[in-house]
Structure 1
Amino acid sequence: MIEFRDVTKKYPDGTVAVDELNLTVEAGTITVFVGPSGCGKTTSLRMVNRMIDPSAGEVLIDGEDVRKSDPALLRRGIGYVIQQAGLFPHRTVLDNVATVPLLSGWTKAKARTRAAELLETVGLPAEMGKRFPAQLSGGQQQRVGVARALAADPPILLMDEPFSAVDPVVREGLQDELLRLQGELDKTIVFVTHDIDEAVRLGEKVAVFRQGGVLAQYDAPAEILARPADDFVSDFVGRDRGYRGLSFVDNEGLPIGQVDTVLVGGAHSPSQQWTLVLVDGDKPRGWLAPGSTVDGEWTTADALAGGSLYTRGTPLRGALDAALSSPAGLGVVVDDAGAYAGVVTAEEVLKVIESRRETAE
């Protein structure tokens, strides 16, 4: 558990980076610090591992003030991931990951064995260990950074905007990977971002900071979206916070319909309805528009891109995304294995939302 008790950081020029912060990060959870630039979120994070010391107040880990610990020893027991990974360019991936175990006195063989295990844990093949950072993509470098932070099996992981330098598709994959790892490893994670979507997706609790290092609201993401503490929080999470809030609304009562399907390589007569193209027997690949014709057998090249897929049983935001991104206006529903299960419409999603609202009132 990490506690901030009346923590203030004031610099000699009078700038207050953090102002009387009181906050508790529960063990085994992901807590996200979010806010505009210059609001003190990174300064607060760095006071946990003593990269910055507070001017007043206390930062405690399991009840012990971090200022009683030697900074170097403290940091070896806390994983730290930064933007663009911060890897040593002259060391191989394997040796980058083994850095902290070696500093902690592990033998080289033991440290490298642990590093190889962690590459697999973060989804990288073993042969990546022989490469240098410059030979990796941005997303791969970030995975190596996470592996390095986990190498000595620290109970706490600090992550300072670790995914902000990669493209949106890679970023979403890294977020998924972090959630998967947390499900396996159960670390206490403090994550800094300026992106409210990333905050509500990852955080079990979210701390919203305002300019001047003031904590504006600290709560579960669904609560922040539904009941912002003040105008600042409301403006920061955005006018579309109701849409973001769909990430926390289950799909109970959402009707799932069916459409005509055709297998790639199979014959298909022109239809006046949208037809879903499947590969490997049951995996959605795209759509055939009404009246579509082609000589011979259908191929994936004949299909229109199908938009996002909605996994059955997950929150309603995914269902609405799938319906709105589909050229057919039909969101494709799949099961956990990615097999076609049916379709939904945006209208049906909105009806479920409205019925929930009426029930709540």
Structure 2
Amino acid sequence: MIEFQAVTKRFPDGTTAVDELSLSVEEGTITVFVGPSGCGKTTSLRMVNRMVEPSSGTILVGGEDIRTPHPAVLRRGIGYVIQQAGLFPHRNLLDNIATVPLLSGWTRAKARARAGELLELVGLPAELGKRYPAQLSGGQQQRVGVARALAADPPVLLMDEPFSAVDPVVREGLQDELLRLQDELDKTVVFVTHDIDEAVRIGEKVAVFRTGGLLAQYGSPADVLRDPADDFVANFVGKDRGYRGLSFLDSTGLTLSQVPTVTIGAPVEATGSEWVLALNEQRQPRGWRSPGSAPSAALREGDLHAGGSLHGHGSSLRGALDAALSSPAGQGVVVDDTGAYLGVVSAETVLEVINRGSAG
């Protein structure tokens, strides 16, 4: 656990970056600090490993005051990931990852072996170990940065806007990778971002900071989206917070309907006035035949309209609504764990479930 007890940071020019911050970060969870520029979120993070010294108050990590150990000893026990990875350009990847274990007294052979294991853990092939940072993409460099932070197996991982410098597609992949790693490693993670979408996607708890270093709200992503503490939080999370909040409601209450289906490769008759869903031999959806389609001796995928997104049965209502809205037929296709067709759901059905939940 990380505990902030009335922590304040005031700089020599009189600027208060963090003002009387009190909160507890639960062990083994991802907690996200989010807010606009100048709100004190990064300063709060950097006080945990004493990259910034608090002006007053107390920070405990695992029950120990951070002022007790020497700063260098403290930092070797806390993983730290920053923007654009911060790798040493003159060292290859294995030596970059092995930095903290070597400083902690590991043998070179043991440290490099650990580095090789971590490359694979973060989804990079072992043969990249001899390359240098300049030979990698931005996303690959960030993965190496995460591997380096994990090298000495620290219980705490601090991440300061680590994915903000990469494009949106790579960023989503890195977020997925972090969530996968957390499932395996169960670290106590404090993650800083200015992006509320990133915060609610990866955080188990979200701390929203306002300008002046004040904590505006601290709670689960669902709580922050559903019940903002004040107008500042409501404006920061955005007017579409209700839509985002669907990510935290499961779809087990949805009633599925059925539509006509056909099989790829089979002869088909002309369609009437309704859309027909095409499936492969494994009953996985491949697209839609539009109303009024001509007969065919053998249905081909090229004859179909793209089907929109698919919704995994039992996952979030947001996924169900996305599937319905993206479908040319106005029906979201629901599939099981193997991707096989189970039924369809309309946007109206999703909204009925939401309204029932609100009434309850």
Name the CA distance, whole Å, in 1 between partners of 2:130 and 2:267.
48
Offset at 1:28? 0.9
Bigger Cα displacement from structure 2, 157-166 vs 167-176: 167-176
Q: Deviations over 1:27-56 (max 9, x none)?
A: 111111011111000010000111111111
Bigger Cα displacement from structure 2, 126-135 vs 247-256: 126-135
**SS state at 1:8 partner:** strand
Q: Deviations over 1:72-98 (max 9, x none)?
A: 221111111112222223322222222
User: Residue type matched to 1:202 in 2?
Assistant: I
Q: Deviations over 1:202-233 (max 9, x none)?
A: 11111100000000111112111222111111
Q: Assess, with a 3 A threshold, how the Cα gap between structure 1 residues 294 and 212 changes in structure 2: closer, same or farther.
A: farther
Name the CA distance, whole Å, in 1 between partners of 2:307 and 2:261.
13
Partner of 2:359: 358
Q: Deviations over 1:277-316 (max 9, x none)?
A: 4457343343333334597755444443332221111121
Mapping for residues 102-121 of structure 1, pairs under 5 Å? 102-121=102-121
Partner of 2:189: 189
Name the CA distance, whole Å, in 1 between partners of 2:9 and 2:93.
36
Mapping for residues 1-361 of structure 1, pairs under 5 Å? 1-272=1-272, 273-279=274-280, 281-293=282-294, 297-359=298-360
Name the CA distance, whole Å, in 1 between partners of 2:129 and 2:207.
36
Offset at 1:237? 1.2
Q: Assess, with a 3 A threshold, how the Cα gap between structure 1 residues 304 and 129 changes in structure 2: closer, same or farther.
A: farther
- TM-score normalised according to structure 2 size: 0.92
Name the CA distance, whole Å, in 2 between partners of 1:228 and 1:240.
13
Bigger Cα displacement from structure 2, 91-100 vs 180-189: 91-100
Offset at 1:128? 2.6
Offset at 1:247? 1.4
Q: Assess, with a 3 A threshold, how the Cα gap between structure 1 residues 301 and 12 changes in structure 2: closer, same or farther.
A: farther
User: Residue type matched to 1:312 in 2?
Assistant: H
**SS state at 1:47 partner:** helix
Bigger Cα displacement from structure 2, 45-54 vs 238-247: 238-247
**SS state at 1:38 partner:** coil
Aligned residues: 359
Offset at 1:120? 1.9
Name the CA distance, whole Å, in 2 between partners of 1:279 and 1:75.
54
User: Residue type matched to 1:174 in 2?
Assistant: L
Bigger Cα displacement from structure 2, 58-67 vs 121-130: 121-130
- TM-score normalised according to structure 1 size: 0.92
Bigger Cα displacement from structure 2, 205-214 vs 195-204: 195-204
Bigger Cα displacement from structure 2, 274-283 vs 79-88: 274-283
Q: RMSD of aligned C-alpha atoms?
A: 2.1
Q: Assess, with a 3 A threshold, how the Cα gap between structure 1 residues 146 and 301 changes in structure 2: closer, same or farther.
A: farther
- Consecutive aligned runs of 4 or more in structure 1 exceeding 6 Å deviation: none
8 Å CA contact retained: 1:263, 1:281: no
Bigger Cα displacement from structure 2, 317-326 vs 164-173: 164-173
Name the CA distance, whole Å, in 2 between partners of 1:133 and 1:263.
49
Q: Deviations over 1:114-146 (max 9, x none)?
A: 122122222222223233323333222222221
Offset at 1:350? 0.4
User: Residue type matched to 1:330 in 2?
Assistant: Q
